Amino acid sequence: MHVKSNIGIVNALIRITVGLTVLAWSTSKLVKRPWRDSYLVMAMLGGMKVAEGIVRFCPLTALFERGQDMVQEKRENHHNNDEAVEEILPYNPS
């Protein structure tokens, strides 16, 4: 797996800021009510956003871009196959 940065500087700074905010909020709530699992999940999500901002790589963005590339390749292959079929078949105006 080749990991390269796929988000910009401003996006990374926003992710770090929001991630630290969510992390601080969830840990403060977790101290008050340690039996609540939802605060632990929010803390992990906030930590993930901080990590995404630091390394400037978002796996969901990479997955979306890869899917878009696959759709584009499929369209190109379909378009090339249509041209080959049109060259073989005679023109029929009806």
Q: Write out the chain's pLDDT in tens, 94 residues.
A: 677 888 999 999 999 999 999 999 999 999 999 999 999 999 999 999 999 999 999 999 989 989 988 888 888 887 666 555 556 666 667 6
Q: For 93, list phi and psi in degrees, rounded to 5.
A: -75, -15
Give every CB contact of residue 45 below 8 A, 6+ residues apart in sequence.
22
Cα dist from 26 to 23, 38, 44, 50, 92, whole Å: 5, 9, 9, 14, 68
